[in-house]
Amino acid sequence: MPSNKSVSDAPIVQFTNCRILRDHQLQREDLWVREGKILNPEKLFFDEKGSADVQLDCKNSIIAPGFIDVQINGGFGVDFSLATDDFKSGIDLVSQKILSHGVTSFCPTLVTSPPSVYHQVLPQISVRNGGAHGAGVLGAHLEGPFISKEKKGAHPEHCLRTFEAGAFQDLLATYGSLDCVQIVTLAPEMRRSSEVIQQLTKRGICVSLGHSVANLSQAEEAVQHGATFITHLFNAMLPFHHRDPGIVGLLTSDKIPAGRRVFYGMISDGIHTNPAALRIAHRAHPKGLVLVTDAIAGMGLAPGRHTLGQQVVEIDGLNTYIAGTKTLSGSVATMDTCVRHFQEATGCSVETALEAASLHPAQLLGIEHKKGTLNYDSDADFVMLNDSLYVQATYIAGEEVWRQDVSGM
């Protein structure tokens, strides 16, 4: 058997008998992995005269890129908006547990909080690769406090802020640091928001529009200044109106700069968005849809009282409310559940449902050259699923990090 040693001593793993999601299609091909990357088998055969060291029979499973959750507030009793001394162990716990949902990387999300919380929590979040220890951390998503009082949702009103003179300095003072920040959600109708959007975008931070009463022209202006995302479409924004569709109108706006795509998050849990609204959004702008869980600390726990930052929330079945109200506050849905619900509600293809949780969030964050696809040389972060889109195993950098009990397979 020809040797692989000429190029690398690392073992080559060949996943056989599978359908892999590549170029928007499920293709009956093998998947080759070496040193945490997807390998081009043609180069291996012809340039290196190499072959696989290990073959794994996938038993006709689907292999899709690992899911990326860009809006998750916590889970399993951990709340990312609570400043604790052992905050890092909370991140570790959530990143470990969401492997079973097929999530291979995520953005820990903080809801509107006092500056002291940002100052304490943000230095404890560091961007890191995933592995057996858990899903990778892509950076924080700061949802608020620069949002609209009228559309605050589950965010505490006493912590909301507006942009004062020297708006960007004001934002820096509030957060303390932007070192590990990947996304900032703000309301674009706020005075001085344009300069803030430009400054954040210049630093490579994704600006998302949400918790807002912006009209369409304010939303379009924000996009022209660099905003590229909409936080949980339909939720916490003006409802669609035919004379002024508000932020929702960005889905079919003709004022988006050439070459720019606006993405939008959807909480596809069957509660936050009626299936008909999910279908409308998807049909209007399919390439921009990004599935998010918006999961809170109560995800994975029994119904009852839990927290979301400064608020107490109550879980009743799949509904989560601010205690004593009927205001929805995040979800307890898992990412694989959102993928299945999205596919069922829209009747879209399996490929489309899987890309909404992998390729689209990667494109949003500008990391599609290494995450969100199974292209050659990209990171070997992937999920193995059955035909009903239930997760069977999760791999990060080509290593198995979670597998469903064989008894359940």
Which amino acids are annotated catalytic? 294
Radius of gyration of the chain (CA): 21
235 is in an annotated binding site: yes
What are the C-alpha distances in Å from 44 to residues 11, 51, 263? 12, 7, 37
Q: Which sign does the torsion angle of CA 127, 204, 291, 395 carry?
A: negative
Site of tokens 């909480």: 267
Residue 192, annotated as binding a ligand: no
Q: How many CB atoms lie within 10 A of CB 390?
A: 15
Which residue(s) pair with 27 in the sheet? Answer: 20
Q: Which pair of tokens denotes residue 227?
A: 């905003």
Evaluate the CA torsion angle 108, 290, 281, 279 in order and state its sign: negative
- Please tell me whether 403 is known to bind a ligand: no
- The answer to the question of whether 119 is labelled as a binding residue is no
Q: 10 Å Cβ neighbour count for 21?
A: 23
Asked if residue 341 belongs to a known ligand binding site, the reply is no
- Both tokens of 195, joined, read 């300069």
Q: Is 83 helix (H, G, I), strand (E, B) or coil?
A: coil
The answer to whether the annotation marks 305 as part of a ligand binding site is no
Contacts of 146 (CB under 8 A, 6+ apart): 160, 161, 162, 163, 171, 184, 186, 187, 190, 193, 196
Q: Is 328 marked as a binding-site residue?
A: yes
Is residue 173 part of an annotated ligand binding site?
Answer: no
330 in a labelled binding site: yes
Known binding site: residues? 143, 154, 211, 232, 235-236, 243, 272, 328-330
Known binding site for substrate: residues? 154, 235-236, 243, 272, 328-330
Known binding site for Zn(2+): residues? 143, 211, 232
